Amino acid sequence: MVEPAKIAAQPLRYQLEEQVGFKLRLANQRHLEIFNRRMPDITPTQFAVLAKLLDEGHLSQNHLGRLVGMDAATTKGVVDRLRKKGLVQSTASETDMRRLEISLTEEGRSFTADAIHTALEISAETVSNLTPREVERLLTLLDKL
């Protein structure tokens, strides 16, 4: 490990193209371009909500947001847009009237089941330049971040 004082004494060299954040952003842009081309009717965030609801059945709005990595305000906006599209429904919790339970509508279940196949193809296209072993290593390394 290099001491901070030694780092400060060295001439600054910052090559943007070699930074992890820059490379992650480019990889994400590639994935989003593929996603938007293949699934133009919903956003990746909306798809994440639908996929998680397909797995779980119904969830409180707050728990749903935590499971897909969104804050409460973002989750509310995503759920509202999906409700307007007729893909999700919300009901008051039977145990806590302050809590909303979110679930897929019949249309939402059908849409999501079809979208899952497309999402798998999107993932495959995103990593198409990698070998299966490289994909496995990439996913493992991303989990470590």
Q: What is the pLDDT of residue 112?
A: 97
Sorted by where each begins, the domain ranges of the chain are 45-127
Give per-residue burial for 112-128: e unless 16+ CB within 10 Å, then b: beebeeebeebeeebbe
Structure tokens at 81: 């847009």
- Say whether pTM exceeds 0.95: no
The architecture (CATH level 2) of 45-127 comes to: Orthogonal Bundle (1.10)
**Cα–Cα separations (whole angstroms), residue 114 to 4, 57, 104, 124:** 53, 17, 14, 16
Please determine, for residue 133, whether its predicted confidence score (pLDDT) is greater than 80: yes
pLDDT digits (tens, 9 = 90+) for 101-112: 999 999 999 999
pLDDT digits (tens, 9 = 90+) for 73-108: 999 999 999 999 999 999 887 777 778 899 999 999
